[in-house]
Structure 1
Amino acid sequence: MGEPHPKLQATGLTRTFGRAPHAVDALGPLELAVAPGEFVCVVGPSGCGKSTLLRIAAGLLRPSTGTLSIRATSPRPAAMIFQDYGIYDWKTVRANVRFGLDVQRVPRREADARADAWLARTGLSAFADAYPSTLSGGMRQRVAIARALAVEPELLLMDEPFAALDAQLRTILQEELLDLVQATRTTTLFVTHSLEEALLLGDRVLVMSARPGRIIAEHHPPFPRPRTAAVRDAPEFTALKGALRELLRKEAVTA
């Protein structure tokens, strides 16, 4: 039996900003394939095009050359979670989580039920009628995660979603996300600067070069699923983290 068709595939993908003589080549050429149900983490030096890749996948940017395609069965297959939450201050927590369902014209009763189910899964049921301004940063990011997953996306795009949080809260949300994605098996492309985060969450960890970003290395964390946070204590985890850190250090020097 052959390999499944990729859920996401990029071929010869590039992105340039501006015009000559001041043009900046931000990305590529880049080749990438993400299988259905796979969680792929992308790490690389600052400014290497990681977020640009996600924004092209989300349809927020067009590639300069090459293609990026998503093998989808719905007209809006991707949901994106940003570092700055991207939730609406004037909507309640429930209304924020329901927002994507409202856009899809899901009947209100069904939309409320699906939103409430995700509020329960993310520990936010008691805050359904609260407004984001009353929530902590971690709770607001839980709202963003619940909103993205409530629409049952075929592809989840995450752009450093925990970068603004303190270390303890970041660890908690990493473990919560690990449980959620292992339960849903949602295909995910996750950008992060944290090697520990990438190794904990990812089926694959891709390393990008300094700008213009290309994939220069690929690692498969040797930890079977279902996976728990205990893998952080494994010698293999420490060794792979060290190897990735050294590779990124060399790229940062050339950036």
Structure 2
Amino acid sequence: MGDPHPKIEARAVTRVFGRAARAVHALGPVDLTVAPGEFTCVVGPSGCGKSTLLRIAAGLLRPSSGELRIRTNARRPAAMIFQDYGIHDWKTVLANIRFGLDVQKVPRREADARAAHWLDRMGLTDFAAAYPAALSGGMRQRVAIARALAVEPEILLMDEPFAALDAQLRTILQDELLGLTQTTRTTTLFITHSLEEAIVLGDRVLVMSARPGRVIAERRPPFPRPRTGAVRATPEFAALTSELWELLRGEVGAGAAA
């Protein structure tokens, strides 16, 4: 019997930026739960508050009202991966991957072993001494993923991590992330504007409305795990993509008109 309590739970969470006449109601109210080991994807139109929700989950923003709880016993329970990589330009690939381990004061021998494992796992061993400026966008995002997973977080928070990559590279990294998270069973909250990405990766896909973002639909992709990127070629994949786009189309229009 697994843990019955959700790892992430939001209750009536809202976020307002600014004050009085200039206040912008960016998010909510949002109710959300993410079960232990679940990969939950959130999709929605630009400006709907998806990233705001993730930043509240990460503790980078406070909600204006409501509550978001992270249930964990770990000292540093969550790791976050951003669209712009979030790695340090002045550190080598190895030093970037070790960064979180050093912050946690993991013993040097163990930190070296874990960093070496993730260098190998992400195909970065030959680039251990390189600096990010020498790497492609895809390689930099691999470094960011390796750094996040090296600390063995209970929760992974990902904010459109592949949005800046070209379509082919994006597909490759989606498939790599799919394999990694199915192995580690890390509880993941993943923000994306790509329906296809959400359906490939997610146990559950939540659709948000135009601003102020609220959850207006939930779907569970009908693909058992372990799953591979081959699901993209199935009729079920095409049907679910079409269904979600019908839900989203009106919200995208509403967001553009706002």
Residues 1:38 and 2:1 are matched in the alignment: no
Residue matched to 2:203: 203
2-structure distance, mates of 1:106, 1:251: 46
Contact 2:94 2:119 in 1 (8 A): yes
Q: How does 1:23-62 map to 2 (within 5 A)?
A: 23-62=23-62
Q: What CA distance in whole angstroms lies between the structure 2 residues aligned with 1:165 and 1:228? A: 20
Shift, 1:55, TM fit = 0.3
* C-alpha distance after superposition, 1:214-246 (max 9, x if no partner): 100000000000001111111110000001111
In the TM superposition, 1:141-156 aligns within 5 A as 141-156=141-156
Letter matched to residue 115 of structure 2: A
Distance of 1:3 and 1:254 partners within structure 2: 39
- Per the alignment, residue 253 of structure 1 pairs with 253
- Aligned residues of 2:205 and 2:221 also touching (Cα < 8 A): yes
- The amino acid of 1:26's aligned partner reads A
Tell me by how many angstroms 1:151 deviates.
0.4
Indicate the residue corresponding to 1:89 in structure 2: 89
Matches of 1:150 and 1:75, distance apart in 2: 15
- How far is the alpha carbon of 1:3 from its aligned partner? 7.3
Name 2:67's counterpart in structure 1: 67
Question: Residues 3 and 80 (structure 1 numbering): CA distance in 2 closer, same or farther, change over 3 Å?
Answer: closer
Runs of 4+ that moved beyond 2 A: none
Deviations 1:94-150 (A, max 9, x none): 000010111111112211111110111111011111111111100000000000000
Cα RMSD between the aligned structures? 1.0
- State the 1:75 CA deviation: 2.3
**Consecutive unaligned residues in structure 2, runs of 5 or more:** none
- Secondary structure at 1:84 match in 2: coil
Q: What CA deviation, in whole Å up to 9, does each residue of 1:175-208 have, x standing for no partner?
A: 0000000000000000001111100000000000
Unaligned runs of 5+ in 1: none
Per the alignment, in what secondary structure is the counterpart of residue 98 of structure 1? helix
Q: TM-score normalized by structure 1?
A: 0.98
* Secondary structure at the counterpart of residue 14 of structure 2: strand
- Residue 78 of structure 2 contacts residue 155 of structure 2 at CA under 8 Å; is this kept in 1? yes
1:211 Cα shift? 0.6
**Greater mean alpha carbon deviation, residues 1-10 or residues 114-123:** 1-10
Give the number of aligned pairs.
255
Query: Where does residue 157 of structure 1 map in the other structure?
Result: 157
Would you say the 8 A contact 2:3–2:36 is kept in 1?
Answer: no
